[in-house]
Structure 1
Amino acid sequence: MDVKKLYDDYEAYIIEMRRWFHRHPELSLKEQNTSRKIQEELQGMGIPFEVLAPNCGVAATIKGGKEGKTIALRADIDALPVKEETGLEFTSENEGVMHACGHDAHIAMMLGAAKVLNEVKEELAGTVICVFQVAEETGFGYKEVLDYFDSIGGVDSVIGLHIWSTLPEGEILLIPNSVFAGGVGYDLTVKGEGGHGGRPDLVKDPIKAACEMVLKFASIPSNFYDVLDHSVVNVGRIEAGTIGNVFPSEAKLYGGFRWYKPGGDKVILEKMHQIARGVCAMYGVDYELVINGGVPPVSNNAELISRAKGLVKDVDGLELAKQTDPICAGDNFGYILEKYKGFYGVLGAEKAGDTVYPQHHCKFDLDEKAFRKGSEFMARFAIDFLNAE
């Protein structure tokens, strides 16, 4: 099978698809038109698919000419509530919504891989499932993917690629264990007793306690948690008071924390509670700490990463990234990898010579030369995984 020749033929298609999806972004759980376009493309290729209830994710099935293992490829499809300021000719037509994280490229690369794999399916010993997942940005979508895998008896492996604007184009980050961090958000309310700004001795001031917690939470990664695990405990928003000469009765902190090693979240959370209890005892106030959702670390299977590294040389212009550190971002693909072995690669698409903007920025953009490489890498991995002795 001449995979390179097929990608020579289909590279323009992949770029065209990326531009279409970039022009028509949709927010999480509202990806109806995105899903409809994916379905139309799959129908045109003659690939059967299912829509994943209760939302509009899509799972396409490419059955090989021989029986064998099953591998799933996963791409997320939602956009962000960001007003685009790139000035691209294919800029977003949906005001206030933008593919500012590269999911438009993920869809296009997956469609390209589906197109090529469908062309060579008679030479495959097994089945490829191409999954287009909704609502990654808001933490949803992965459950219906797992439900679908369960309904078909599971898969032997599942892989994905996340494109990255600050990694050099043509490089791919393939590391074992955690490549993305686990992350959760939290809301913390400090409850005191307010009063006149001139009599701090007669109140139980929640502001001083909250400020104390902000500083002490920031010290958790270096003083109270494993120094060999990269971690962050942050506060991004503080609310308290209405006027300068009144002590309020409540202060609120909004933040999050990130970690990489299994179980790190439990240790960090307990240290937060320990600090909050101590600070509250000192200031005579109470607190309530509420956790908001979150994702586990995205942990790569070491054996499959080793196999993947061996295939990088087969893709023209692709090389292993010089960076070897994980990335402090989150992705609910981690939940899928907790149940099924696989990996998440990070594909560089930095626009050399231009100002580089990170994911989620209103001027975020990508080098289109990377898309063919990422798509080809996924297709080659699927072929190798299924046809290996």
Structure 2
Amino acid sequence: MKEELFKRLDDKKDRIVSIRRHLHEHPELSFHETNTKQYIVDFYRDKDCDVQTFTGGNGVVVTIDSGKPGKTLAIRADFDALPIKEETGLPFASQNEGVMHACGHDGHTAYMLILAETLIELKDQFTGKIKVLHQPAEEVPPGGALQMIKDGALDGVDNVIGIHVMSPMDTGGVFYREGAIQTGRSYFNVTIHGKGGHGSSPHMANDAIVAASYFVTAVQTVISRRLDPFSVGTITIGSFDGKGQFNVIKDHVTLEGDVRAMTEETRKLIQTEITRILDGIKAMFGITYDLDYQNDYPVLMNDEKLTDFVSQTLKDADIKEVTEVTRCEPQPPSEDFAYYAEKVPSCFFYVGAKPANGVFYPHHHPKFDINEDCLLIAAKSMGAVVSEYLKGSAN
């Protein structure tokens, strides 16, 4: 099956690229991907599979049933874009002003559609079932994965496997890691309330900007002085809304922050320490504060046994376009694939997508692009894993 699968994917490489470019031209933001959803549904029309959509979101689940008993493997591809004005200059650049596929989800959907089509053609050669999870809204909490799970996408599923294309990683490389592979994420919004006044008479006011500035500096001590040196955590203050008149002392300031951690214990510790610092600033400066603190995407945990199976399968697959299959370091961003991994043993791995000239822009950058050779590699890599997983009665 694997050899036949690879041959058919080779023949369809141009179609994968064409689909990716179409999707890149027509990006849609998280929770608003109605046209993309319809494009996916239309793609499967008249194909020998079951297509399920949901009223609660834009997700699409495609079930490919071999008709023979065996396990059920889910494979996931996300399809939302970002609120970014594209600056790539590509001939197929976004036609939707201020919206861009700046993370590679167009590529994920393109390779997955053609892979699924080919698996449908070859379904008499495997046992069990494949569930293709076309997932919306990965970029924005609470994320699309939770809604997919709520809608029953994981019902009867034994394992879930996902791929992300990565522009900083060399094209030709496939990268994996067991255990904690991507950070968990939290968001906080804090408004510090002081007392407004005239800039010439600070003694008659209570400057919220001074207190908030102290918080910005002090909160970094959570990372440097409260975390174990071998723990991973970051705190970023991404927004400080203190704009006002130059000679007016502000009565309130609002800050927004981002927290990342590689264990749930670290994430809880950071939350506790941020609250402790705010309580200290309250006592020191005589201010009050309102804190909204939300934990969203959990730490993404790759199942060790499944990851070993995936990595060994990829090493043995003899994919001609793959130059290396390598264990990599954990990745700093967060991923709502983590919600699937909380429910069933899962594996999330990476396919290198660095442009051929070696110059890359990071994900979420307005000049982000991928080497489209990565799309066939992704299709073959996922196809090899699916073929081995659903091979014969042993699965």
TM-score per shorter chain, which class? over 0.9
- Counterparts of 2:201 and 2:97, CA distance in 1: 50
What is the match of residue 87 of structure 2? Answer: 85
Shift in CA distance, 294/178, structure 1 to aligned 2, threshold 3 Å: same
Match of 1:138 among 140, 157, 177: 140
- Equivalent in the alignment of 1:248: 250
Secondary structure at 1:167's aligned position in 2? coil
The equivalent of 1:318 in structure 2 is: 322
Structure 1: 5+ residue stretches without partners: none
The 8 Å contact of residues 312 and 319 in structure 1, kept in 2 or not, is answered as no
Counterpart AA for 1:362: P
1:183-262, aligned counterparts within 5 Å? Answer: 183-240=185-242, 242-262=244-264
My pick for the range that moved more, 263-272 or 197-206, is 197-206
Shift of 1:80: 1.2
* Other-structure match for 1:153: 155
Greater alpha carbon shift after TM alignment, 288-297 vs 365-374: 288-297
Q: Which secondary structure state, in structure 1, belongs to the residue aligned with residue 30 of structure 2?
A: coil
8 A contact 1:149–1:155 mirrored in 2:
no
Query: 1: CA distance between counterparts of 2:152 and 2:311?
Result: 26
**Who is 1:358 aligned against?**
362
Matched, 1:375 2:386: no
- Distance across 2 between alignment mates of 1:240 and 1:32: 37
In structure 2, how many angstroms separate the alpha carbons of the residues matched to 1:147 and 1:339? 11
User: 1:174–1:320: 8 Å Cα contact kept in structure 2?
Assistant: no
Structure 1 segments of 4 or more deviating over 3 A? 319-323
Given the alignment, which residue of 335, 338, 341 partners 2:345?
A: 341
Task: Check 1:377–1:241 CA distance in 2 against 1; reply closer, same or farther (3 A cut).
Answer: closer
**Structure 1 residue matching 2:352: 3-state secondary structure:** strand
Output one character per residue of 1:187-207: Cα deviation in whole Å (capped at 9) or x when no partner. Answer: 111111222223333332222
Distance (Å, rounded) in 2 between the aligned partners of 1:124 and 1:93: 41
- The corresponding residue for 2:104 is 102
- Contact 1:217 1:234 (8 Å CA) reproduced: no
Alpha-carbon deviations, 1:40-62, whole Å to 9, x = none? Answer: 21125332211122222111010
Moved more, 103-112 or 350-359: 350-359
Deviations 1:142-165 (A, max 9, x none): 123112436x73310011111111
Q: Distance in 1 between matches of 2:94 and 2:131?
A: 29
- Contact 2:177 2:327 (8 Å CA) reproduced: no
Root-mean-square deviation (CA, aligned residues, Å) is 1.8
Deviation for aligned residue 1:241: 5.1
TM-superposed CA distance for 1:317, in Å, is 2.5
1:22 matched to 2:34? The reply is: no
In the alignment, the residues of structure 1 paired with residue 267 and residue 139 of structure 2 have an alpha-carbon distance, to the nearest angstrom, of 20
The reply to whether residue 178 of structure 1 matches residue 190 of structure 2 is no
What is the aligned partner in structure 2 of residue 165 from structure 1? 167
Pairing of 1:122-137 with structure 2 (within 5 A): 122-137=124-139
| 1:136 alignment partner, SS class | coil
Give the distance between the partners of 2:354 and 2:85, measured in 1 at CA.
Answer: 21
Aligned-partner residue type, residue 246 of structure 2: G
Unaligned runs of 5+ in 2: none
CA distance in 1 between counterparts of 2:151 and 2:131 reads 11
Whole-Å separation in 1 of the counterparts to 2:292 and 2:311: 41
Report the alpha carbon displacement of residue 311 of structure 1 after superposing the two structures with TM.
1.8
Q: C-alpha displacement at 1:242, in angstroms?
A: 1.8
- Percent of aligned pairs sharing the same letter: 33
C-alpha deviation, 1:99, in angstroms: 0.8
Q: Cα distance, 1:351 vs. partner?
A: 0.3
Number of equivalences:
388
CA contact (8 A) 2:314 2:325 kept: no
The superposition leaves residues 315-360 of structure 1 with CA deviations (integer Å, 9 ceiling, x where unpaired) of: 2232556572211111211112111110111211000315311111
- TM-score, length-scaled by structure 1: 0.95
